[in-house]
Amino acid sequence: MVAKVVTIVSGKGGVGKTTTAANIAVALASRGLKVTCVDGDIGLRNLDVVLGLENRIVYDLVDVTEGRCRLRQAMIRDKRLPELYLIPAAQTRDKTAVSPSDMVRLCDELRQEVDWIIIDSPAGIERGFKNAIAAADRVLVMTNPEVSAVRDADRVIGLLDAEEKGPAALIINRLDPAMVKRGDMLSVADVIDLLAIELIGIIPEDENVIVATNKGQPLALDGKSKAGLAFQNIARRLMGEQVPFMDLDSQNLFQRLLGRK
Partner 1 sequence: MLALKSSIISGIMGETSSFIQIKGVRDGLLITLGGAPWPDLASAFVKNVDERSSFFNGARVALDVGTNELRVAELSSLRDQLSERGLSLWAVLSESPVTETTAQNLGLATRLSKPRRADYREPSEELPEDAAKWVKGPLRSGGRVLFEGNVVVMGDVNPGSEIVAGGSVIVWGRLRGVVHAGAHGDEQAFVCALELAPTQLRIAGEIAVSPKKQGKLRPEVASLKDGRLVAEPWQEVTGR
E strand or H helix that includes residue 37: strand 35-39
Closest separation in Å from C-beta 143 to partner 1: 12
Closest separation in Å from C-beta 245 to partner 1: 23
Contacts (CB under 8 A) with partner 1, residues 135-154: 151-152, 154
Residue 75 vs 149, nearer CB to partner 1:
149
Closest separation in Å from C-beta 196 to partner 1: 6
Spatial CB neighbours of 93, under 8 Å, sequence gap ≥ 6: 42, 43, 62
Among 79, 155, 215, 256, binds partner 1 (CB under 8 A): 155
Given a contact cutoff of 8 angstroms between Cβ atoms, the answer to whether 37 and 60 are in contact is no
Nearest to 248 by CA among 218, 221, 227: 227
Q: Does 186 sit near partner 1 (CB under 8 A)? A: no
| CA dist list (Å): 212 to 6, 223, 228 | 23, 12, 10
Closest separation in Å from C-beta 200 to partner 1: 19
Among 13, 14, 82, 158, binds partner 1 (CB under 8 A): 158
Closest separation in Å from C-beta 17 to partner 1: 18
Closest separation in Å from C-beta 167 to partner 1: 12
Residue 61: strand, helix, or coil: helix
Listed ranges 33-41, 48-56, 158-166, 219-227: which one lies at the site for partner 1 (CB under 8 A): 158-166
Residue 25 vs 159, nearer CB to partner 1:
159
- The C-alpha atoms of residue 119 and residue 138 are separated, in whole angstroms, by 10
Q: Does 167 sit near partner 1 (CB under 8 A)? A: no
In DSSP terms, which residues pair with 87 in a beta bridge? 38
Among 44, 188, 194, 239, binds partner 1 (CB under 8 A): 194
- Strand ranges (E), 81-176: 84-87, 116-120, 138-143, 169-175
Residue 12 vs 34, nearer CB to partner 1:
12
User: Using alpha carbons only, how large is the chain's radius of gyration in Å?
Assistant: 18
Given a contact cutoff of 8 angstroms between Cβ atoms, the answer to whether 106 and 64 are in contact is yes
Closest separation in Å from C-beta 149 to partner 1: 11
- Strand ranges (E), 33-83: 35-39, 76-77
Given a contact cutoff of 8 angstroms between Cβ atoms, the answer to whether 89 and 41 are in contact is yes
Nearest to 227 by CA among 199, 244, 246: 246
Among 86, 110, 123, 159, binds partner 1 (CB under 8 A): 159
- The C-alpha atoms of residue 149 and residue 141 are separated, in whole angstroms, by 11
Q: Does 157 sit near partner 1 (CB under 8 A)? A: yes
Closest separation in Å from C-beta 153 to partner 1: 8
**Chain residues in the site for partner 1 (CB under 8 A):** 151-152, 154-155, 157-159, 161, 194, 196
